[in-house]
């Protein structure tokens, strides 16, 4: 019985230390990013070491290889990949952050941000990464940007289509009509030969979790059309990145085929996933492992560092909204894309929210809501079990759960599960009690309940383990 094992990582966003790793401007950027900056090289090295020593046959990188298309970041990343390639093959799908499509590559010195960083053009990428895909391709499509989609064959009748979906020619991510036709033809051709077809592209085809979170910004512009066509043609799995959230969902096409979309989280932020795909003659198994520690500047860091780095976006922003740190607060929100005027208006609101969530315990909040009589949504015994938790702890837990695909199990019936699901129903109860007729309010309240359930449970499919029949 043959076995093919492939390992997928995504959004390595390698950041060259030459772009600056100290000073207030750098610290601010780092503190507003879920993923790391200075530490990316160390995390990538830790992952490459684990993968090179494992029994996997090849490594795949699902886009956003560099932080923001900086030439220095690409050059360092290529050095790492060439070193890794001495042990195992690597196949790369490039994406918008690899040619800095938003023209916002930055370097940092003291309190200043500089925009004079040399970036790589999209027309250069195919040649730069020729040895990590196109050079071994059995078929290739060159896009209007000069970038490459290509096909790789593996033993055990497995075929990989690496698809670059940066622009559809109509202002969104996706494929031009001729590119789409090439992809469909490749899938059909390989299926007719009895091959297992696996896709790899950066943007999402399936709207995971909730439209409140993974809306059109994360998906390809025409994602519904693409997923139906890919699935109908016979693609079985597609690996995507971009959202930085770990997720598995399935899609059934009109002709009854099933396609699994595996959204691989960012390697350089919590939960630092490496997704292993094992294919035998009759089974497909997907299993996520995580970087548990990495060495940076002679210090060993574990996953708590990555967790704190991620939740720092919430806790630091809320604490800055307090009086006395106005300029740092404005600069921090600017880093998050919020204009000064809006940041100033938001400040009293964020200050109040910050005070409330950091000071209020889950138990006292629940008791207050019960007193307000929404039919006593919270069980006293559940509240008692969470008496040591502040609301901010739950907010941070939920954020981490979103990123890791609900690794920490909160079983149905547990106090944690009961309190959060009861909380999620409050907006809908309010809409009903106040007889609000607005379609938007009805939709948002229902979607909020669904979102909390998705965060708590991880959805219908385990996001970190899947075992299915090959056919």
| Contact positions vs Fe ion (CB under 5 A) | 11, 64, 242
Give the DSSP H or E segment for 52. helix 40-53
What are 85's two structure tokens? 């390639």
How many distinct helices (H) and strands (E) make up the chain?
15, 17
Q: Which is nearer to Fe ion, 64 or 261 (CB)?
A: 64
Provide the minimum distance between the beta carbon of 97 and Fe ion in the complex, in angstroms, as a whole number. Answer: 5
Q: Which is nearer to Fe ion, 40 or 401 (CB)?
A: 40
Q: Which is nearer to Fe ion, 64 or 335 (CB)?
A: 64
Provide the minimum distance between the beta carbon of 172 and Fe ion in the complex, in angstroms, as a whole number. Answer: 14
Q: Which is nearer to Fe ion, 11 or 397 (CB)?
A: 11
Q: Identify each DSSP E strand in 74-224 by its residue range.
A: 90-93, 107-109, 112-114, 139-142, 148-154, 158-163, 196-201
Q: Which is nearer to Fe ion, 64 or 201 (CB)?
A: 64
Distance CA 79, CA 330 (A): 38
Provide the minimum distance between the beta carbon of 242 and Fe ion in the complex, in angstroms, as a whole number. Answer: 4
Q: Which is nearer to Fe ion, 11 or 261 (CB)?
A: 11
Q: Identify each DSSP E strand in 202-292 by its residue range.
A: 237-240, 247-252, 258-263, 273-279, 283-290
Q: What is the total residue count of the chain?
A: 471
For residue 441, give every residue at least 6 positions away whose Cβ sits within 8 Å of its Cβ, in sequence order, or none. 431
Q: Which is nearer to Fe ion, 39 or 64 (CB)?
A: 64
Provide the minimum distance between the beta carbon of 63 and Fe ion in the complex, in angstroms, as a whole number. Answer: 6
Distance CA 36, CA 30 (A): 7
For residues 157 and 282, is the Cβ–Cβ distance under 8 A?
A: no
Give the DSSP H or E segment for 466. strand 465-469
Provide the minimum distance between the beta carbon of 224 and Fe ion in the complex, in angstroms, as a whole number. Answer: 20
Distance CA 334, CA 242 (A): 22
Of the candidates 45, 79, 54, which has an alpha carbon nearest to the alpha carbon of residue 295? 45
Provide the minimum distance between the beta carbon of 266 and Fe ion in the complex, in angstroms, as a whole number. Answer: 6
Q: Which is nearer to Fe ion, 234 or 241 (CB)?
A: 241
Provide the minimum distance between the beta carbon of 26 and Fe ion in the complex, in angstroms, as a whole number. Answer: 19
For residues 140 and 54, is the Cβ–Cβ distance under 8 A?
A: no
Provide the minimum distance between the beta carbon of 221 and Fe ion in the complex, in angstroms, as a whole number. Answer: 14
For residues 93 and 62, is the Cβ–Cβ distance under 8 A?
A: yes
Looking from the CA of 35 toward its CB, the CA atoms found within 13 Å total 27
């Amino acid at each position: 019985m043959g076995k093919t094992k492939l390992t997928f990582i995504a959004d390595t966003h390698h950041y060259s230390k030459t772009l600056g790793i100290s000073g207030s401007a750098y610290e601010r950027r780092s503190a507003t990013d879920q993923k790391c900056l200075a530490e990316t090289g160390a995390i990538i090295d830790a992952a490459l070491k684990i993968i090179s020593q494992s029994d996997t046959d090849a490594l795949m990188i699902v886009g956003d290889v560099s932080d923001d298309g900086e030439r220095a970041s690409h050059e360092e990343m290529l050095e790492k990949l060439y070193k890794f390639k001495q042990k195992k093959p690597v196949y790369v799908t490039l994406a918008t952050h690899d040619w800095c499509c938003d023209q916002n590559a930055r370097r940092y010195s003291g309190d200043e941000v500089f925009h004079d960083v040399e970036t790589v053009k999209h027309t250069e990428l195919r040649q730069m990464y020729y040895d990590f895909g196109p050079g071994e391709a059995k078929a290739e499509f060159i896009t209007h940007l000069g970038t490459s989609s290509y096909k790789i064959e593996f033993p055990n009748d497995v075929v990989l289509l690496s698809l670059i979906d940066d622009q559809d020619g109509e202002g969104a991510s996706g494929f031009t009509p001729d590119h789409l036709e090439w992809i469909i033809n490749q899938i059909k051709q390989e299926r007719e030969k009895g091959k297992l077809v696996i896709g790899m592209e950066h943007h999402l085809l399936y709207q995971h979790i909730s439209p409140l979170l993974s809306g059109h910004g994360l998906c390809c512009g025409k994602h519904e059309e693409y997923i139906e066509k890919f699935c109908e043609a016979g693609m079985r799995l597609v690996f995507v990145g971009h959202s930085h959230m770990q997720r598995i969902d399935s899609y059934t096409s009109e002709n009854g085929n099933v396609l699994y979309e595996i959204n691989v989280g960012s390697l350089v932020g919590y939960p630092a996933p490496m997704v292993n795909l094992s294919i035998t003659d009759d089974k497909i198994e997907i299993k996520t492992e995580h970087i548990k520690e990495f060495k940076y500047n002679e210090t060993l860091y574990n996953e708590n560092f990555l967790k704190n780095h991620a939740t720092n976006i919430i806790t630091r922003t809320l604490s800055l909204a307090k009086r006395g740190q106005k300029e740092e607060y404005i600069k921090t929100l600017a880093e998050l894309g919020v204009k000064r005027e809006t940041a100033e208006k938001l400040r009293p609101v964020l200050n109040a929210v910050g005070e409330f969530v950091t000071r209020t315990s889950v138990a006292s909040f629940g008791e207050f809501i019960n007193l307000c009589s929404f039919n006593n949504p919270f069980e006293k015994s559940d509240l008692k079990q969470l008496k040591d938790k502040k609301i901010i702890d739950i907010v941070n837990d939920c954020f981490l759960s979103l990123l890791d695909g609900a690794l920490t199990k909160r079983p149905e019936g547990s106090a944690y599960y009961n309190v959060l699901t009861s909380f999620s129903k409050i907006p809908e109860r309010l809409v009903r009690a106040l007889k609000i007729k607005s379609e938007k309010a009805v939709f948002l309240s229902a979607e909020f309940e669904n979102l909390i359930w998705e965060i708590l449970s991880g959805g219908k499919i385990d996001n970190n383990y899947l075992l299915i029949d090959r056919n």
